[in-house]
Structure 1
Amino acid sequence: MENQTSAPKITDPKMALQKAEQYCAYQERAQQEVRNKLYDWGLWPDAIEQIIANLIEGNFLNEERFARQYAKGKFSQKGWGRIKIKQALKFKRIPEKLIQKALKEIDGDDYTKRLSQIIQKKEAVLDEKDAYKKRYKLQQYALSRGFENDLIADILNNSHL
């Protein structure tokens, strides 16, 4: 049987604000992440919204800054494409306008270069002999990483796969 430990309950809004400030200072957070954490701590909805407002006012929380950092990080560190980044940001309830702003900051040349590297790296480990199957597997892999189908097709066509 699994041993589950629950998060410590914090009922004092001032103490919760301090902890939330530390939580946000550690790394960029989305409002929904902080809201979920505050609910986990057992705070009331009114107190939670007040704490969120205080965090925004104190510049501990900034959705645009979070979206930009998240998109940049997932692209450069994880090699995610725009589609996957967009879905993840939507899941974190980031407004569409901020998602679009964040995605525009990804350089187009770097994006294409990164997709090309991902395809080449995957091709090197594929044992498929049939050219059609190999191309299909590479395409599916790139799609699963969140890249756009037309861009994948262009790169595969240019590499003669």
Structure 2
Amino acid sequence: MDELKKLKITDPKAALAKAEHYCAYQERAQQEVRDKLYEWGLWPDAVENIIGELISTNFLNEERFAKAYAQGKFNQKGWGKNKIKQGLKFKKVPDVLIKKALQAIPDDDYRLALEAILTKKARTIEEKNNLKRRFKLQQYALGRGFENDLILDILKTSDL
């Protein structure tokens, strides 16, 4: 099995077909595909040609990837915009596309999600001191990637 994993692809046509399959399976960032092509043992000029071909045939679309990533992490994992932004930066997505992806998350849904996360967490905190309790909730939400001003606003207007 290890020999199969280390199998190198030197034919650009075969690599393109395999990369198309890789991109069709789920949305990918350009850097993910580039790393995978290098992992397969392709040369830099072949890698860039394949990336260009994938973009022109719309197998690879960085904006589509950024929006899908942002929606997925928000809806499935309950991540805040700061954490999503860091994840996209880690995948080397351009700032302009990160901004577009974050704007695609509806503000009302975002606020409701944060309120739900804080409410759920508040039930598990046994701290009696109100100040310490709110600090714990704030730290938890910050760790999930939500913005401090929004967290404080919700904590101020709710009785958590």
Q: Classify the TM-score, shorter chain.
A: over 0.9
Q: Which amino acid aligns with 2:55?
A: I
**Separation (CA, whole Å) in 2 of partners of 1:8 and 1:74:** 33
What is the DSSP-based 3-state SS (H/G/I as helix, E as strand, rest coil) of the residue aligned with 1:101? helix
Structure 1 unaligned segments of length 5 or more: list them: none
The alpha-carbon deviation at position 159 of structure 1 amounts to: 1.2
Give the aligned partner of residue 101 of structure 1: 100
Give the aligned partner of residue 109 of structure 2: 110
**Separation (CA, whole Å) in 2 of partners of 1:125 and 1:26:** 38
Q: Matches of residues 68-79 of structure 1 in structure 2 within 5 Å? A: 68-79=67-78
Give the aligned partner of residue 66 of structure 1: 65
What is the DSSP-based 3-state SS (H/G/I as helix, E as strand, rest coil) of the residue aligned with 1:88? helix
RMSD: 1.4
For the pair 1:52 / 2:51, whether they are aligned, the reply is yes
- After TM superposition, the score normalised by the length of structure 1 is 0.95
The alpha-carbon deviation at position 126 of structure 1 amounts to: 1.2
Structure 2 unaligned segments of length 5 or more: list them: none
**Separation (CA, whole Å) in 2 of partners of 1:135 and 1:18:** 53
**Separation (CA, whole Å) in 2 of partners of 1:40 and 1:95:** 23
Q: Matches of residues 5-154 of structure 1 in structure 2 within 5 Å? A: 6-154=5-153
**Separation (CA, whole Å) in 2 of partners of 1:7 and 1:77:** 33
The alpha-carbon deviation at position 138 of structure 1 amounts to: 0.4
Count of residue pairs the alignment pairs up: 159
- Distance verdict in 2 for CA 1:121–1:7, change over 3 Å: farther
- After TM superposition, the score normalised by the length of structure 2 is 0.95
Structure 1 stretch displaced more, 107-116 or 120-129: 120-129
Identity %: 66
**Separation (CA, whole Å) in 2 of partners of 1:135 and 1:63:** 39
- The ranges of structure 1 where at least 4 consecutive aligned residues each deviate by more than 4 angstroms after the TM superposition are none
